[in-house]
Amino acid sequence: MDKNAITIALPKGRLLLDCVKILSEVGIKAEEDLSTTRRLLVPSEDGSARFLIVRDKDLPVYVDYGAADMGIVGKDVLMESKKNILEPLDLGFGYCRIVVAQPAVAMGLSNTSGWGHARVATKYPNIAERHFAARGEQIEIIPLYGSIELAPLVGLADRIVDLVSTGETLRQNNLVEVQDVMEVTARLVVNRASMKIKAERLVPLIEALRENLQRW
């Protein structure tokens, strides 16, 4: 492998296949299937890059500390992490939204503002806190990392802040959206030092990705 190879972090899960596709379209292809490999570091076919496949929540950390020169991650994860990394491209795929939702039965009892001190369950405590602070609402954050929709159904929380795609999970659990928080797409992120030190490698790749997006 080229000693100056760039390291690209990609997230496990729903974004991975689109990440592989968009990179392969600009000539960066792994030497094996990244969706099935058990290897932690996978070289590209031409040795100009290597891939890290990591949990999405860990990806901004790898990029921020320079363990990866660049990566692809959802805007939700990027905003929640609060890491000081560059975000040169909105890649456009993986569209979802972060919303505030509450039980449908509560809709007739009060409006969505002026609830006083509400409890909000979420896997996005930083995003939720910023959202409600901007609205002047006092809340208590309850961090959860699975089955967020269950929290208001059993009285753990009044509302939730969660990522939705079609909204079907909310409907199945008799929850309704009451506020939009943010739209989410996949973003290209780059380590600040790498952008200077490896500019001759990274800048052409970023521009190739930008041009490829215009053809999508």
Residue 117 and residue 143 in one domain? yes
Residue 48 and residue 74 in one domain? yes
* Number of domains the chain contains: 2
With respect to residue 1, please indicate whether it lies within any of the assigned structural domains.
no
pLDDT tens-place values along the chain, 216 residues long: 666 799 999 999 999 999 999 999 999 999 999 999 999 899 999 999 999 999 999 999 999 999 999 999 999 999 999 999 999 999 999 999 999 999 998 765 444 444 557 999 999 999 999 999 999 999 999 999 989 999 999 999 999 999 999 999 999 999 999 999 999 999 999 999 999 999 999 999 999 999 999 876
Residue 189 and residue 129 in one domain? no
Phi, psi for 43 (deg, rounded to 5)? -70, 155
What local confidence, expressed as pLDDT, does residue 39 receive? 93
With respect to residue 136, please indicate whether it lies within any of the assigned structural domains.
yes
Residue 48 and residue 61 in one domain? yes
CA dihedral of 193, 54, 202, 31, whole degrees rounded to 10: 140
With respect to residue 147, please indicate whether it lies within any of the assigned structural domains.
yes
pTM for the model: 0.90
With respect to residue 157, please indicate whether it lies within any of the assigned structural domains.
yes
What local confidence, expressed as pLDDT, does residue 117 receive? 75
- Name the strand (E) or helix (H) holding 132: helix 125-134
Residue 102 and residue 178 in one domain? yes
Residue 179 and residue 189 in one domain? no
- Nearest-angstrom CA–CA distance, 96 and 165: 5
Residue 80 and residue 103 in one domain? no
With respect to residue 110, please indicate whether it lies within any of the assigned structural domains.
yes
Residue 165 and residue 110 in one domain? yes
- Nearest-angstrom CA–CA distance, 148 and 90: 27
Domain range enclosing 80: 6-94+185-215
CATH number at residue 43: 3.40.190.10
